[in-house]
Amino acid sequence: MLKLESAAQRFGEGHFTERIHFDSGSSFERLGVAFNQMADNINALIASKKQLIDGIAHELRTPLVRLRYRLEMSENLTEAESQALNRDIGQLEGLIEELLTYARLDRPQNELNLSTPDLPAWLQTHIDDVQSVNPQRTLLTRVTPGDYGALDMRLMERVLDNLMNNAMRYSESTLQIGLDLQGNQASLTVEDDGPGIAPEARETVFEPFVRLDPSRDRATGGCGLGLAIVYSIAQAMGGTVHCEESELGGARFCFSWPVYHNIALPVPA
């Protein structure tokens, strides 16, 4: 029974490949078969949802391209009207890209493109870039030096961008970004001094298109997929992400992952 309980807990945490096997003739054999069938059905539903999202996003691309072309050819719009329409089209294009990213992340054939970066230096460069275009914000850093092992930097870029964009959207004036290394576990934290997130909503905030309250609606920008993508990346990396209260008064997002050393990296052609 403990074996079944452990498998159910791991599956509930997002390890959707988890299956259980009992010896033939065991009193739990039928229960194990039922669990595996349930897990297969859930996986099929998730795959179907991802395929639907992928298909919708691809279908939307063509009419958007036509719409942008017609906008560029139009001579009857004022400058203000043209700019407003371009912003709307840009938001739709951004949503499509986020939908495609979200749909692709959970595909089992996805392979990590690993490298061994200087993660503290990478983080500082990124923060400097953000600070240069947001001089009105205070960006604090707290970084533990060390070897953070092999990482897919394409995914790490997306995690940092999404967490910082979320924090910039809701903060009053201050963000704090942390990078920590404890043994074989690393974490990236982003926190803000905004309105925060109620304890009962700190899990649902990672679901696609979730809107928690009027202070965190679409008027602030974004398409509602940023944190869902971060959650999917955490799963792909064998890590976790959670939300808690920040010492700054707002929300604190902690993205953690296992550190891998001595991994054979692809040899450049």
| Same domain, yes or no: 51 and 167 | no
Among 21-30, 76-85, 127-136, top mean pLDDT goes to 127-136
| Same domain, yes or no: 133 and 36 | no
**Residue 41 domain boundaries:** 1-110
pLDDT in tens, 206-251: 988 776 655 555 445 555 788 999 998 998 888 999 999 999 999 9
The C-alpha atoms of residue 193 and residue 246 are separated, in whole angstroms, by 8
CATH of the domain at 45: 1.10.287.130
Q: Are strands 185-192 and 240-245 parallel, antiparallel or unpaired?
A: unpaired
pLDDT in tens, 69-124: 778 878 788 888 888 888 888 878 878 888 778 777 765 555 678 899 999 999 99
In a domain, 267, yes or no: no
In a domain, 18, yes or no: yes
Question: Between these two residues, 201 and 75, which has the higher pLDDT value?
Answer: 201
**Could you give the number of structural domains in the chain?**
2
Buried b / exposed e along 78-113 (16+ C-beta atoms within 10 A): eeeeeeebeeeeeebeebbebbbbbbebbeeeeeee
CATH of the domain at 226: 3.30.565.10
Dihedral sign, Cα of residue 151, residue 153, residue 159, residue 161: positive
| Same domain, yes or no: 124 and 245 | yes
Q: pTM for this one?
A: 0.70
| Same domain, yes or no: 100 and 130 | no
Q: Answer with the one of 55, 89, 110 that is the final residue of a domain.
A: 110
Q: Is the pLDDT of residue 266 over 60?
A: no
| Same domain, yes or no: 40 and 157 | no
Position 106 scores a pLDDT of 61
Q: Answer with the one of 90, 110, 130 that is the final residue of a domain.
A: 110
Query: In the 8-state DSSP scheme, what is residue 262?
Result: S
The C-alpha atoms of residue 238 and residue 160 are separated, in whole angstroms, by 17
